[in-house]
Amino acid sequence: MVLDVVPPATLVLVAAALAAVLPWRLGHALGVAATGGVAAMAWLAPAGAHLQVTLFGEFEAILYNVDDFSRLMGLIFGFIGAVAVVYSYASDADSHQTAFALSYVGTSLGAVYAGDWLTLIFFWELMAVTSTLLVWHYGGAAVRAGFRYAVLHGIGGSLLLAAIVWHYAEVGEVAFDAYPGIVAGVPAAMAAVGIGVNVGFVGLHAWLPDTYPRPHIAASVFLCVFTTKTGVYGMFRAFPEGHLWIAYMGGAMAVFGAFTALLQSDMRRLLSYHIQSQVGYMVAGVGLGGLAIGHASETGEYAALATAGAFGHVFNHILYKALLFMTVGVIIYRTGRESLDNLGGLGKHMPITAITFGIAALSIAGFPGFNGFVSKGMIIGAAEKKHLEALWYLLVLGGVGTFLSFIKLGYFAFLEGNYGGMVRDANRGQSVALVSVAGLCVLFGVWPNLLFELLPFQGEYHYTTFTGPHIAEGVGLALIALVAFAVLKGPLHHVGRVPDVDYLYNRGFFYGGRVLVVGVTELFAAVDRFAVRLVRVCYWVGANPTLAVLRASRHLPQSLRPTWSGEHPADGGAPSRLYIRAGIGTSILLLTAVLTLMLFLAL
Amino acid sequence: MATYPLVAHDETDEARAAGRKYLAYTFFGGGVLVLAGTALVFVLAGTTTFGETAAGLASADPTLARAAFAILAAGFGVKAALMPLHSWLPDAMVAPTPVSGLLHAVAVVKSGVFGIARVVLEVFEPELVGELGVGIVLAAVAAFTLTAASIIALRADRLKRRLAYSTVSQLSYIVLGLGLAGPAAVAGVGLDTVVRGGLLHIPAHAFMKLTLFFCAGIIHVETHTDYISEMNGIGKRMPLTMTAFAVAAAGMAGIPLVAGFVSKWFLLVGSVEAGQAVFAVVLVLSGVLNIAYFWPIVYGAFFESHAATDGKPLVEGPLGGYLGRSATADDSEAIADGGEPAPGENARDNEDAESHDNEDADHTHHDHEHDDHHGGSGPGGWDRAGWTGGEGSWLMLGPILAIAAGSIVLGILPYEAAFLELIELVAEGVSA
């Protein structure tokens, strides 16, 4: 059957190639069809390893592997890809941009449907390339940001590659099921950091707010979905048994991202920090997903709950984060302004955008009745059940920050002040994209069982979404944030640009790199000059032997200096013949010196 | 001897100087050392037949055997452009581009690498190379070369010069693989893999670098542009050429789909298996450096234009580029119209930088050459040539696209493309 043979990635990659050359309308239609088709395929394709090939003559690779995890990723990637292409179409993205975007979707699909590490890294690196192209395509300041992105992801990808190579050297097979995760020790550390670049570990995250606000608004919608979520998926493959440090890193990301976001004025920059924060929850879920992490129940259900929560959060997050980038994109599309400092009072003019934004904001903040509440609750619940109080506090605190920053974004964009002049709401295509995704956010929020049916480890854990404490938690966080916002409203407006770690390491790389490059080139130029001078001197000595001896002899004591016959050449050059004489004493000295030297050499 | 006239073909002072240097390095340096090494091997082993010398060398005085290896490796290392014996190679790029392709991508440098492969695999054989401890030294020299050459390449503004340093760096991938054969043979694992990775990089590098040199050639012929700082927006004028360039450049950085990934993968696996993970780190670092010095050419070509350009990172321009700077100053208008650097000024700075590491070539000539060099897009920016081959003769485009396609075939199906199969035969012979 065709479902077993054709990897979804090929479908989208072919569509990408065609979209670049076909007429604009047709190309986009094909893009929607291909990505939508992928979602359908993900739904229908039977589990198992479908496309086993031998790569490079000896590596048993599985190009197309379907299990619960890759099915979930394929489903949501395909769906959101289709929505994003519709949005691109409505937002006047040109054919080439959509072609790059589709190639990015295709390579991400290749990565999540990989059944082995070699295929994964293959598509992982290609994903870095295609996303870079998507950023570059916008030109201007996005080019340089894209280059920084490319270098950082080159480093991350290389680390993961090194980890995989080491893993292969130890295990002898590349398939996922040959060994649970990446071999512990150095390879696992390298994999964590390499994947950590993609998921935005604190300290490695600065590419997110640096890159994502710069390209076209539709490009941002694609970007906010695929790289980081493929990263979470990769993290799970590398650490299926979880790791406590990774769990705490997730907690740190949740808090750091949410509160740094609070200080931002550029809307897409704010949302980018929230990617880090939300991915932090997923990373925490992946980190908790092992029996050995924290307090384990006898059935292992808490570990299953954590992993299922992580993947549920991947699924939900893709929905509401794409929705957020789309609504903010509509604002930028209609007003041409990127910063909250220059906006306000848009709610009256843009009701569809405002309402869908509200749904997305309540979802990401985890308000009961919206989808974020379900999956975030699962992760926080797992942290609680495993008795990891510190992590639990981090995750809850991150929730407060999330509420706060979305109250800020919504308040300053839609409520506060007045927008001078006319501004229209989202156009028809954009509205279709916004409303369909917003509908799903509510649907999965109100009927969480629909979501649970998609998640892995079905039936291996117990989780009731709407319990008193859960709802109290969600509403309580919102109330705390509302009060806090009322207090902090003034200071949070017009914060200005807040430097991040990239302020330091960009300078380090740039000036350090410059010093290194100039230093090395100058050193080699000096070595080369010396070598060339040496050769010239040798040539000259060969051409003027007597003159050379004459010049050298000036450094000798008087008694050793050569003499020459009187006939000086008329042109002032060297005499044609030299007479070297020495007294008996000097001769014996020289002879002894030579003999001693030879004795040493012989020994 | 046969390639000397090719290097000096232009008959300019610079070309003559490069030709002399080339001859001095490869003939007096390389040739004499190789002959001396061969004589020494004959004295120690009593034969010069490949495959039969190892036994004799194993029973000889280890110091002399090491000396023989060092002399032979240095002799061939001149042609393989191992640092510090590489200096002829960047200078020899004054030769016409097809010749550069021959010199730098295929024939001459690969003959040096081939020589080292013979020495390691058949004259000494990996076991002995490992026992004498010379393999690891060779690998260390290669690792140093591939890092240092990449760093130097970052600064070269003349495209062919950057390619030349990239060659120096990439050749050392091969030498690294061969050097690691020694430790791998002693460790008992990974010999097969490192040999495979090293040797596979010979065709892989040939395909990729030939693409790059041919691209440099067609750019020169069609637009008289030699300097990277003048190539912003050239993707409009030469889309197919620059696409091929981008593919080959990605391959150089070890991006999948292109040949470079396969050989790098084998080398990485082999170096870890042989217990020499530090060389894996060097290889990985080199991949990142390749991104740093090749990709700015690609983004400059396709995503910047003659007028709106940022200068290339690290060596020129301010932190973050001119455009990034104005964008942060004025958030609401991302595509700022200000902050445009004067391209002429930029180019001038680079030439100054360039002449530093080109000091030995005749300085006066270098300056003279710039006066009558009419590269770049001209004031109106690049013309749009379209994707159907309007950018140049198909006699040039055809080969470029064919070779670039070849590098992709080799990257996806290295085994089926015959090379890896041949290399397996070699590797089997070695391990047997």
pLDDT of A153-198, one tens digit each?
Answer: 989 999 999 898 888 888 888 888 878 888 888 888 889 999 999 9
Buried b (16+ CB within 10 A) or exposed e, A225-261: bbbbbbbbbbbbbbbbebbbebbbbbbbbbbbbbbbb
User: Do both A54 and A117 map to the same domain?
Assistant: yes
d(CA A143, CA A132): 9
Residue A106 — very low, low, confident or very high, per pLDDT cuts 50/70/90? Answer: very high
Cα angle for residues A419, A420, A423 (degrees, 5° grid): 70
Q: Which residue of A has its CA nearest to B150?
A: A517
A197 in the same domain as A332: no
| Best-predicted range by mean pLDDT (A291-305, B182-196, B243-257, B301-315) | B243-257
Mean pLDDT of the region B91-105: 77
B319 neighbourhood in chain A, CB within 8 Å? 506-507, 510-511
Regarding whether A141 and A20 lie in a shared domain, the answer is: yes
Q: Are residues A231 and A296 in the same domain?
A: no
Using the Cβ of B152 and the Cβ atoms of chain A, whether some distance falls under 8 Å is answered with yes
The chain A residue lying nearest B308, using CA atoms, is A140
CB contact residues (below 8 A), chain B span 325-344, against chain A: 326-328, 331-332, 334-336
Domain boundary among A495, A514, A535: A495
pLDDT tens per residue, range B313-369 = 666 666 766 665 544 433 333 333 333 333 333 433 343 344 444 433 333 333 334
CB contact under 8 A, B334 and A137: no
Question: Among residues of chain A, what percentage have pLDDT more than 90?
Answer: 15
pLDDT at B262 over 80: yes
pLDDT in tens, A529-550: 888 888 888 888 888 777 787 7
Cβ contact, residue pair B315, A514, below 8 Å: yes
Asked if pLDDT for residue A298 goes beyond 70, the answer is: no
A519 assigned to some structural domain: no
Q: Across the interface, do B268 and A161 touch by the CB < 8 Å criterion?
A: yes
| CA dist., res. B426 & res. A390, Å (int) | 58
Quick check: B30 pLDDT over 70? yes
Higher pLDDT, B416 or A320: A320
Region A6-31 average pLDDT: 88
Question: Is B424 within 8 Å of chain A by CB?
Answer: yes
pLDDT the model gives residue A562 = 65
Q: Tally A–B CB contacts below 8 A.
A: 167
* Domains: count for chain A: 2
pLDDT of B348 = 36
Among residues 110-129 of chain A, which lie with CB inside 8 Å of chain B? 118, 121-123, 125-126, 129
For residue A430, which amino acid is it? Answer: Q
Digit-coded pLDDT (tens) for A304-318: 888 888 999 999 999
Same domain, A207 and A250: no
State the nearest Cα–Cα gap between A564 and chain B, in angstroms.
34
pLDDT in tens, A366-390: 888 898 888 888 888 888 888 888 8
Looking at the fold, whether A176 and A249 belong to one and the same domain comes out as no
Question: Could you tell me the residue range of the domain that residue A8 belongs to?
Answer: 1-240
CB B284 within 8 A of CB B268: yes
Together in a domain, A389 and A472: yes
Whether A141 has its CB under 8 Å from any CB of chain B: the answer is yes
Pairing of strands A48-49, A65-66: antiparallel
Q: What is the pLDDT of residue B372?
A: 45
DSSP bridge pairs for A59: A55
What is the tens place of the pLDDT at every residue in B156-189?
A: 888 888 888 888 898 899 999 888 888 888 887 8
Q: Which strand (E) or helix (H) includes residue A53?
A: strand A52-55
Question: Residues of chain B with pLDDT > 90: what percent?
Answer: 3
Give the per-residue pLDDT at A103: 92
Give the residue from chain B lying closest to A159, CA to CA. B284
Q: How far is B302 from chain A (nearest CA, A)?
A: 8
Question: Taking a C-beta distance cutoff of 8 angstroms, is the pair A447, A370 a contact?
Answer: no
A204-245 confidence digits (pLDDT tens): 888 888 888 888 888 999 999 899 999 999 999 888 888 888
Q: Measured between beta carbons, which residues in chain B are less than 8 angstroms from residue A266?
A: 331
pLDDT greater at residue A363 or residue B49? A363
Ranked by mean pLDDT, which of A249-253, A511-515, B361-365, B375-379 comes out on top?
A249-253
Residues A104 and A236 in one domain: yes
Chain B CA closest to residue A173: B269
Residue A190 falls inside a structural domain: yes
* One-letter amino acid for residue B173 of the chain: Y
Question: What is the average pLDDT across B197-223?
Answer: 88
Show Cβ contacts of residue A472 under 8 Å, excluding neighbours closer than 6 positions. Answer: none
B19-44: average pLDDT: 83
Domain assignment of residue A236, yes or no: yes
Please indicate, yes or no, if residue A530 is contained in any of the structural domains.
no
Of B151, B303, B328, the CB nearest to A516: B151
Asked if B319 is an interface residue toward chain A (Cβ–Cβ < 8 A), one would say: yes
| Same domain, residue pair A352 and A487 | yes
Q: Is residue A155 part of a domain?
A: yes
User: Is residue A416 helix, strand or coil?
Assistant: coil
> Domain boundary residue among A217, A240, A263?
A240
Q: Is the dihedral of CA A352, A357, A360, A363 positive or negative?
A: negative
Domain boundary among A240, A256, A286: A240
Rounded CA-CA distance A286/A457 in Å is 13
Residues A71 and A108 occupy one common structural domain: yes
Which comes out higher in pLDDT, residue B118 or B1?
B118
Looking at the fold, whether A231 and A247 belong to one and the same domain comes out as no
Contact between A477 and A404 (Cβ < 8 Å): no
The answer on A459 and A356 residing in a single domain is: yes
| The pLDDT value given to residue B374 | 58
Q: ipTM beyond 0.85?
A: no
pLDDT on residue A568? 55
Interface of B with A in 44-83 (CB under 8 A): none
pLDDT band at A576 (very low <50, low <70, confident <90, very high): low
pLDDT band at A559 (very low <50, low <70, confident <90, very high): low
Chain B contacts of A342, Cβ < 8 Å?
A: 332
Residue B378 pLDDT more than 60? Answer: yes
CA–CA distance, A251 with A393 (Å, rounded to integer) = 9
Say if the Cβ atoms of B268 and A165 lie within 8 Å.
Answer: yes
**Per-chain mean pLDDT for chain A:** 85
Residue A513 contacts B, CB cutoff 8 Å: yes
Do B299 and A535 make contact, defined as CB atoms within 8 angstroms?
Answer: no
The answer to the question of residue A562 being in a domain is: no
